[in-house]
């Protein structure tokens, strides 16, 4: 398997489509937002033409009001991976959701604990009434290893860890083990000079507005999808939703989208560190986020040597 990782807007999908000309692969998406139907523009989902040219997996698998988490992603990704390998094709795992990417690469064992909405609402209410730190302190008392790994500000992950404990009676870290897949994996990372990447992100946000993001969010709201849904809390959907409700101007919503995406990049670089020796990094600065000819040829040669 080949994995292509890196921050949002750096050109991962473009590279995957370029490589498809040489290796006839199938792509497994590792994007936590592209799993939702009807959410195309704000998630920068591959176009119908791109998906017709190269098969894509784990895209459009649930409606925006359906639960989707790491356990379901893990199951769907490995089902796709097995099917691609059985056809004798090359799987490309492509995306910037670090949790999803590493769960596949490292072979995490994911507890099969279904969501408990009543418990989640109760814990969310606690976090609002007290503070998020109280939930994290409870998690640390139950499972110090999980407490160290999960950022206290990541309320969703803290609540999920507590949910697993309440359902099984066991510390989440005991149930979340790693067993590396038996097949070889090459991890390719794309990096870009930070200010250049931010400019590309800002351009992409403006393109989303031009392509109809406002109309897309409006249609989702008309379909009855609540702004409080996890799917609707994603960057772009949240801010445009606030604009449509009159809570901010369009200019403010666009600025907030750009700011939050810049912040996402910093978070992604915590998952994909330039110092990580498992990742073969390529700098695509000066190429508008797309792999330039030199980088593309190097990557192509690297893959040829890897699969031969």
Q: What is the CATH number of the domain that holds 148?
A: 1.10.20.140
Tell me the residue range of the domain where 123 lies: 117-175
User: pTM, whole model, 2 decimals?
Assistant: 0.86
Out of 158, 175, 192, a domain closes at: 175
Chain Cα centroid distance, residue 235: 12
167 and 184 together in one domain:
no
Out of 126, 154, 175, a domain closes at: 175
Residue closest to 4 by CA, chosen among 15, 149, 59 = 15
Which pLDDT does position 290 carry in this prediction? 55
**Residues contacting 236, CB < 8 A, separation 6+:** 41, 42, 205, 208, 213, 217, 257
234 and 301 together in one domain:
yes
Which pLDDT does position 178 carry in this prediction? 86
**What whole-number distance in Å separates Cα of residue 91 and Cα of residue 1?**
5
What number of CA atoms fall less than 13 Å from residue 93's CA on the CB side?
A: 31
9 and 135 together in one domain:
no
147 and 288 together in one domain:
no
- The answer to whether 35 and 62 have CB atoms below 8 angstroms apart is yes
Model confidence pLDDT, tens digit, residues 202-259: 999 999 999 999 999 999 999 999 999 999 999 999 999 999 999 999 999 999 999 9
**What whole-number distance in Å separates Cα of residue 178 and Cα of residue 104?**
10
Which pLDDT does position 96 carry in this prediction? 94
CATH (domain of 86): 3.40.50.300
**What whole-number distance in Å separates Cα of residue 276 and Cα of residue 270?**
10
170 and 94 together in one domain:
no
Give pLDDT < 50 ranges for the chain. Answer: 289
185 and 278 together in one domain:
yes
Number of structural domains in the chain: 2
Which pLDDT does position 154 carry in this prediction? 86
**What whole-number distance in Å separates Cα of residue 198 and Cα of residue 258?**
8
- The answer to whether 160 and 68 have CB atoms below 8 angstroms apart is no
- The answer to whether 46 and 13 have CB atoms below 8 angstroms apart is yes
**What whole-number distance in Å separates Cα of residue 250 and Cα of residue 196?**
24
8 and 41 together in one domain:
yes
147 and 79 together in one domain:
no
Cβ burial, residue 100 (10 Å; 0-12/13-18/19+): buried
Q: What is the mean pLDDT of the chain?
A: 93
Q: What is the 3-state secondary structure (H, E, C) of 180-223?
A: CCCCCCEEEEEECCHHHHHHHHHHHHHHHHHHCHHHHHHHHHHC
96 and 14 together in one domain:
yes
68 and 123 together in one domain:
no
Which pLDDT does position 144 carry in this prediction? 93
Out of 175, 191, 218, a domain closes at: 175
Backbone angles phi, psi at 223, to 5 degrees: -70, -10
164 and 199 together in one domain:
no
**What whole-number distance in Å separates Cα of residue 71 and Cα of residue 111?**
7
Which pLDDT does position 247 carry in this prediction? 97
151 and 77 together in one domain:
no
């Amino acid at each position: 398997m080949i994995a292509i990782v890196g921050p949002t807007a750096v050109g991962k999908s473009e590279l995957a489509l370029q490589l498809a000309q040489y290796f006839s692969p199938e792509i497994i998406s590792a994007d936590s937002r592209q799993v939702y139907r009807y959410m195309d523009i704000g998630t920068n989902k591959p176009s119908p033409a791109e998906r017709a040219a190269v098969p894509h997996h784990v895209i459009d698998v649930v409606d925006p009001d359906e639960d989707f988490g790491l356990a379901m992603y893990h199951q769907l990704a490995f089902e796709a991976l097995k099917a691609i390998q059985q056809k004798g094709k090359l799987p490309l795992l492509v995306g910037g959701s670090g949790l999803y990417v590493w769960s596949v690469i490292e072979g995490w064992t994911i507890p099969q604990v279904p969501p408990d909405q009543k418990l989640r609402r109760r814990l969310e209410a606690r976090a609002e009434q007290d503070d998020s730190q109280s939930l994290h302190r409870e998690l640390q008392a139950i499972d110090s290893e999980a407490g160290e790994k999960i950022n206290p500000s990541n309320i969703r992950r803290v609540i999920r860890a507590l949910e697993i404990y309440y359902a099984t009676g066991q510390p989440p870290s005991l149930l979340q083990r790693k067993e590396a897949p038996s097949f070889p994996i090459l991890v390719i990372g794309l990096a870009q000079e930070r200010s250049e990447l931010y400019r590309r992100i800002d351009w992409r946000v403006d393109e989303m507005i031009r392509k109809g993001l406002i109309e897309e969010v409006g249609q989702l709201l008309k379909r009855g999808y609540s702004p409080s849904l996890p799917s609707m809390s994603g960057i772009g959907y949240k801010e445009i939703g606030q604009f449509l409700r009159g809570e901010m101007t369009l200019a403010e919503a666009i600025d907030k989208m750009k700011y939050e995406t810049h912040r996402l990049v910093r978070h992604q670089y915590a998952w994909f560190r330039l110092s990580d020796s498992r990742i073969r990094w390529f700098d695509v600065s000066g190429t508008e986020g797309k792999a330039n000819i030199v980088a593309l040829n190097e990557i192509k040669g690297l893959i040829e040597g890897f699969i031969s």
